Structure 1
Amino acid sequence: VHFRPENLVIGEGTTVRDADGNKRPMVQADLDVILEKVEHMEDGRIRALSSRFLTGRPIGPFDYQGTRKDDPNDTLPHELRRELRGLNVFAEWLIHFDTKQQNTLDMVVEGPAGPYVRHYLIDFASTLGTGAEGPTANWGWEVSMDPAAVIRRTFMFGGTTPQYRRFDPSEEMPAAGWYESEVFTANGFRPMMQNPAFQRMSVRDGYWAAKILSAFTDEHLRVAVEQGRYRDERTADYMTRTLSERRDKICRYWFDRVPPLDYFVVRAGQVFFQDLGLRHGLYEGEPRYRARVRGVDAERTGEKADWIELDRTSVELGGHDEPFVEVEVQVDRGGGFGPSVKCSIVTTSQRVVEIQRDRS
């Protein structure tokens, strides 16, 4: 929101503390001193942030480990929840380094079957290369007290330059902060405080999050950046490009470890799948695919099948007497065929019931 300083009115009974800590009524001069520290736009207006109140009754923050003792529905330890472990990927994308417990909030809301607890993340000020105290170089690279970083620099006698110091932020784009994609490497994110859920993130958690992240197109990012109302177009273009480049680096990292062959469906006796790496233009060159199809029992055992080279992202199911059909697919992006993705299908209904992903 934007407003003019003269629109502010000091409420009745508003007080401030003087230099000695004593309370006294607030006067216009006190407000003027506060507003002098705030950047004004060229037309004199001030830019501010408004937050919407959450629906329901607040019951405090949630922890990134354990469960809420006052919530009977909360039975799975939080550090084992994929949405919290995978949140690490999104925090890395945005450099959301302040993911501590105090920046969460649980609300009791009414539902058709009665009240339940809804979980929220709040306070996203510490993102996109800046924070409450302005741009800071090491946030996202090191925790507040990082013994490993201290020891490394001590024994190197200052002879090693931290990776984040290899980036030189533009003085002409201060609003971009320390947000960059030039020296950024995926899966190196360190929040300001250690996060128990982030520490337990698995490769498959990373893939799950990267699959969601890959769905953000450059157009989505451009529209999102426009909502930030940057003053100059160059900064807006830079932020859009940097979001895109960080997205691609993160997605490639996880897709290199878990093949992004997904969204298996059966139509007219064929299994169709999507290659998210190809779909989102993350790799150069044309990929190669191969598959093998076999009938299996409930334990997924059956006769071995031969590999079939594919010229498209689909494969014929064929006829099988076993209760399930297993379709195993691999992709080669120039370095040989990688790990398998196995899709299990009910023979009679042709319904996909299971996806198993190998990892490199």
Structure 2
Amino acid sequence: MDKKYIFGIFIALITFAGISAVLLNQVDSSNSGGSQEVNTSIPAEQSVNTSTNTSTSELKTVRHGYLPSNGDALIFIAKEEGFWTEEGLNVELYQFTKGTEGYNSLFGNKLDTVGAGTSDPATYIAQGADITIIGGLMSEGQFLVTAPENSKALADLNNWKGKKIATITMSNGDLIYKSALKKAGIDWKNDVTFLELGSPNAVLEAVKTGKADGGIIWIPYEILAQQQGLSIASYSYQYYDNHPCCRIALKTGTLNKDRNTYVKFEKGLIRAYKLFSENENKSVDDIQKYVKVDKEAIRQSTWSNYFYASPDPNTNGVKEYYQMMKDSGYIDTDVKIEDHIDNTVYKEALEELIAENPDDQFYQKLLSEYKEMNT
């Protein structure tokens, strides 16, 4: 048999298996964290946007690593609505399951940008990695889920002593709850047993089977958890209101060599945020192409009082978050996080949009928010 024919069948089977796994596991991925060092990034399905006829060969390619969570809503909208194409970029989306996978791909030059929780880039920066945060994607959106009979008790952190809590290392929720335990006078390293798992679905399974008393997850898994008979015991905002979550980061050298490309990248995200804020139905349609849950679950989880989307880098929030990581014993470092944040990329993108749309009040509002969160 022809070797090329055999190879084609092999590739087709791998592709089918990958797609089937996504559908069967819905959005089985990690917002950040994990211990695997092997990159398993997969190119996302490339949707065709008919709003532009620009050939991809004429565009600057940016390889972006994402997690299939509605926390990455702005990424999906920017892609599906053709905003990046209109800015002269061909943004290729690569799905990964854990934050470390995304950053391993970044350090291995397989990705140009990564969108994952604040704990991921902050931890790597604390360890000496030369990466820069240029923008944001979301805030809040983390939870503790339990069996219904344990919900009331575990809503009180004082009752966590001696308990087993399933978590994903380096996820935002992992840090938020450990910091809250420290503030409550509980030694989270010794008084609580944390089961470090590889995905939110694994966390839910551990709670359902009684292997863990509670589990720390993020959107949209709170909806899936409740559909499976679990309860939400507490929300991350109860311990840190409006805390930053997923940030856009890249190698500092990459940014320095081609700054204009990433200004355009941020312009696409800002335009996506405008549509997200003004057209909920279209946003849901765009998000569902990457987050395999039903539309109402996406809607309920995304337009809620415990999740906020924003492309603003939120320098002040990231600095506060980083200090909290140090205070809680999560990291030990003398590296300053502010040396690894360039909020002027976002500012330049926003100013270009204001110049192009001088009467648009939405962009003017974002500029006011930028001054509050980054100075």
Report the TM-score when normalising by structure 1: 0.31
Structure 1 or 2, whichever has the larger Rg, is: 1
Question: Comparing both structures, which one devotes a greater share of its residues to helix?
Answer: 2
Q: Which of structures 1 and 2 has the larger relative contact order (alpha carbons within 8 angstroms, sep 6+)?
A: 2
